[in-house]
């Protein structure tokens, strides 16, 4: 098995900023024209996630609202008592959603559903520059 590794950065606003990564990942996959493989998309850090969603205005609002029920911003977290940085909720949300996803490549194309896009969600309480790692396993 061989692995191709690519990286790119995105700037986020934080506070549940959702950024569509699909086109950039598709461009990386197309560059190598590998017939059948898997692509692994990962964000280093403990306050952001990579997942898939239908990237449309309703869901871009619905997802953060749903996460607010599980890990509200205005709750006191033990993390905040330790570090005094006010982003305990961001760590919990990132842990729930996860920091990576794997998408199959068949006949050189990402196997995403019709309405499915790859996204970054940055939960942190400040703008960030996020590194995105893309590995193709074939």
For 53-100, the DSSP string reads: E--SHHHHHHHHHHHHHHS-TTS--HHHHHH-SS-HHHHHHHHHH-SE
CA dist 125 and 122 (Å) reads 9
What are the two backbone dihedrals, phi and then psi, of residue 86, each rounded to the nearest 5 degrees? Answer: 70, 15
What total of structural domains would you count in the chain? 1
- Kindly list the strands in the beta sheet with 100-106, ordered across the sheet, starting from the edge strand earlier in the chain: 3-12, 128-137, 37-42, 100-106, 109-110
Residue 9 lies in a domain: no
Is residue 25's pLDDT more than 90?
Answer: yes
* 38 in Cβ contact with 135 (< 8 Å): no
Residue 62 lies in a domain: yes
pLDDT at residue 67, rounded to an integer = 97
Is residue 138's pLDDT more than 90?
Answer: yes
Q: What's the CATH code of the domain at 41?
A: 2.60.120.460
pLDDT at residue 52, rounded to an integer = 98
Residue 3 lies in a domain: no
Q: What percent of the chain has pLDDT over 90?
A: 99
pLDDT at residue 51, rounded to an integer = 98
Length of the chain: 138
Residue 8 lies in a domain: no
pLDDT of 34-66, one tens digit each?
A: 999 999 999 999 999 999 999 999 999 999 999
pLDDT confidence of 1, banded at 50, 70, 90? confident
Arithmetic mean of pLDDT over the chain: 97
Range of the domain at 50: 14-130
**Tokens 């690519």 sit on residue:** 6
Cα distances from 133 to residues 13, 25, 56, 74, 77, in angstroms, run 20, 10, 24, 31, 29
pLDDT at residue 28, rounded to an integer = 98
pLDDT of 83-124, one tens digit each?
A: 999 999 999 999 999 999 999 999 999 999 999 999 999 999
Residue 79 lies in a domain: yes
Residue 97 lies in a domain: yes
Residue 1 lies in a domain: no
Is 79 exposed, middle or buried, given 0-12, 13-18 or 19+ CB atoms closer than 10 A?
A: middle
CA dist 29 and 122 (Å) reads 24
Residue 137 lies in a domain: no
């Amino acid at each position: 098995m061989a692995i191709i590794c690519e990286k790119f950065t995105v700037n986020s606003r934080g506070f549940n900023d959702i950024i569509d990564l699909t086109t950039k990942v598709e461009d990386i996959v197309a560059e190598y024209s590998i017939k059948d493989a898997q692509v692994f998309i990962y964000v280093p850090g403990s306050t952001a996630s990579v997942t898939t969603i239908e990237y449309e205005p309703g869901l871009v609002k619905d997802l953060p609202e749903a996460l607010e029920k599980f890990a509200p911003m205005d709750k006191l977290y033990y993390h905040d008592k330790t570090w005094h940085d006010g982003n305990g909720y961001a760590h919990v949300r990132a842990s729930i959603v996860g920091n990576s996803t794997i998408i199959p490549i068949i006949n050189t194309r990402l196997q995403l559903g019709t309405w499915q896009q790859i996204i970054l969600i940055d939960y942190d309480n400040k703008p960030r520059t996020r590194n995105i790692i893309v590995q193709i396993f074939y």
